[in-house]
Amino acid sequence: MNLDDFRKNGYAVVDWICDYLEQVEKYPVKARVKPGDIKKQLPGTPPARGEEMDTIFQDFKDIIIPGITHWQHPGWFAYFPANNSPESILAEFLTAGLGAQCMVWATSPAATELEEVVAGWMRQMLGLPPEWSGVIQDTASSATLCALITAREKATDFKVNEQGMEKNLTVYVSHEAHSSAEKGAKIAGFGRDNIRYIPTDEKFALQAEELERQIVEDKARGFIPTAVIATLGTTSSGAFDPVPDIGKICQRRKIWLHVDAAYAGPAAILPEKRHLFQGLENVDSFVFNPHKWLLTNFDCSLYYVRDPELLTRSLAVDPEYLKTAHDKEVKNYRDWGIQLGRRFRALKLWFVLRSYGVKGLQEFLRKHISLAEFFKNLIAEEDNFELVAPAELGLVCFRFNDGQKGSLELDEFNQELLQRINGREEVFLTHTLLRDNFILRMAIGQRTTEEKHVTRAWEIIKEEAQKMQP
């Protein structure tokens, strides 16, 4: 494709994206396809000769788009949000156009230094300890893996990197911790048998006294307690683990404390929510995702560490062909994560931060928290529905409960109710299990969601529940 054709097709793509963002509400939130529907529309062999971009783009619209679930739909209440914004999209255009591989400072100095700046800005906005250093990872899963590897090396005086795992090192998480904790512990060599799942309280938060009891028991049995992963804003219910109490335990017993605030982290920019983030002075590492609730399209995950030297010593490999003349003067982020090659992720976050400003982002988050409060009040006014977990931010956990059904019957009713709600194609909710009960999750956080969309979701929920009752 020559540049004249690129310019023409580029304008067509921008026009399509603008139309999509303007009209996304007209799409069904979830794709209507069945497994295999997309593949059977595509040839099984690659084209022998190149095709015209008009043909390729038309196939994108006719084949690919019907198989897309629309995360930017205002009726998106599933999982957690994964927002984009026009500012972020424009930055991604530029990133793709530049085609930079930003593994070390020398390969793109601006990428490295901008990453340092935006990480510093976000540290200030969230009120994180000023001595922390940040790096942009792809996801919180990668950041948690980095934390576990660093904790492992610190606990063994960096011997595992040299000799392999010989001792039984243990990791501690709550029953509500994200699945990335288990995956990270397996990849880092701890083994599933050495993960300790700590009970939670009535608010689904980790019980600090049970954590300490388990640590003491493990030490008596010859294990080496190595890392605790606390969560601020759990995936299932939005619970906040008691980081101040956990931090004191970890400090006293010299155990690495990693905090997963992937979803809830942005709320720390709100003064009225800062109380949810107390105790971070005793934390060793912390991660949150701007690509969830801060208008920066996937992927962009900010990982902060108290001691960068521990991180880089745990992960760095230094072959001759990667050495540069400036290595002693700069940060080379290739040593701060799993990947060698790195995208220019800082650019889109920079665009968002500059375009919205702190006050604009605060207003954005407050709108969703207010909508969640609105939805909570709707549930509270309805006799046949109940809230099942505290809702501090934008996630509301609830279920139908008319007080007449047993536990199994309630689960079956709510499971069918969820299918009926999503079958309407106007909204999309997901579920979880809390205390083994089937629970509906309403995660309010999409950029274009307004009160009318929350109201419409509630109307659909009530209508479908009414249809199911005798």
Helices vs. strands in the chain: H and E counts, helices first = 14, 12
Give me the mean pLDDT over the 208-220 stretch: 97
Task: Label residue 270 by pLDDT band (50, 70, 90).
Answer: very high
Residue 192 neighbours by CB distance under 10 Å: 10
Topology at the third CATH level for domain 100-343: Aspartate Aminotransferase; domain 2 (3.40.640)
Whole-number pLDDT of residue 319: 92
pTM of the model: 0.95
Percent of the chain's residues with pLDDT above 90? 98
Which residues contact residue 428 at a Cβ distance below 8 angstroms, ignoring those fewer than 6 apart? 29, 30, 69, 73, 75, 76, 77, 78, 422
CA atoms within a 13 Å half-sphere pointing along the CA-CB vector of 26: 6
CA end-to-end span of the chain:
63
Reported as a single tens digit per residue, the pLDDT across 301-348 is: 999 999 999 999 999 999 999 999 999 999 999 999 999 999 999 999
Q: Do you find a cis peptide bond into 299, omega within 30 degrees of 0?
A: yes
Give me the mean pLDDT over the 373-391 stretch: 96
Contact 127, 267 (CB under 8 A): no
DSSP strand pairing (428-434 vs 133-137): unpaired
Task: Give start and end residues of each alpha helix (H) in 202-287.
Answer: 208-220, 243-253
Contact 147, 284 (CB under 8 A): yes
Give CA–CA dist 440/97, Å, rounded.
42
Whole-number pLDDT of residue 469: 86
Reported as a single tens digit per residue, the pLDDT across 100-140 is: 999 999 999 999 999 999 999 999 999 999 999 999 999 99
Whole-number pLDDT of residue 16: 97
Would you tell me the crossing angle of helices 243-253 and 208-220 to the nearest 10 degrees? 20
Contact 287, 259 (CB under 8 A): yes
**pLDDT at 166 > cutoff 90:** no
**pLDDT at 70 > cutoff 90:** yes
**pLDDT at 186 > cutoff 90:** yes
Give me the mean pLDDT over the 394-399 stretch: 98
Give CA–CA dist 296/266, Å, rounded.
12
Whole-number pLDDT of residue 420: 97
Task: Label residue 470 by pLDDT band (50, 70, 90).
Answer: confident
Residue 270 neighbours by CB distance under 10 Å: 17
**pLDDT at 274 > cutoff 90:** yes
Whole-number pLDDT of residue 21: 96
* Strand partners of residue 440: 398, 431
DSSP string, 322-387: G--TTTTTS--GGGGSS-SS---THHHHHHHHHHHHHHHHHHHHHHHHHHHHHHHHHHHT-TTEEE
Which residues contact residue 279 at a Cβ distance below 8 angstroms, ignoring those fewer than 6 apart? 242, 243, 244, 245, 246, 247
Give me the mean pLDDT over the 216-244 stretch: 97
User: What is the pLDDT of the chain when averaged over all its residues?
Assistant: 96
Whole-number pLDDT of residue 165: 87
**pLDDT at 1 > cutoff 90:** yes
Give CA–CA dist 76/293, Å, rounded.
13
Give me the mean pLDDT over the 354-368 stretch: 98
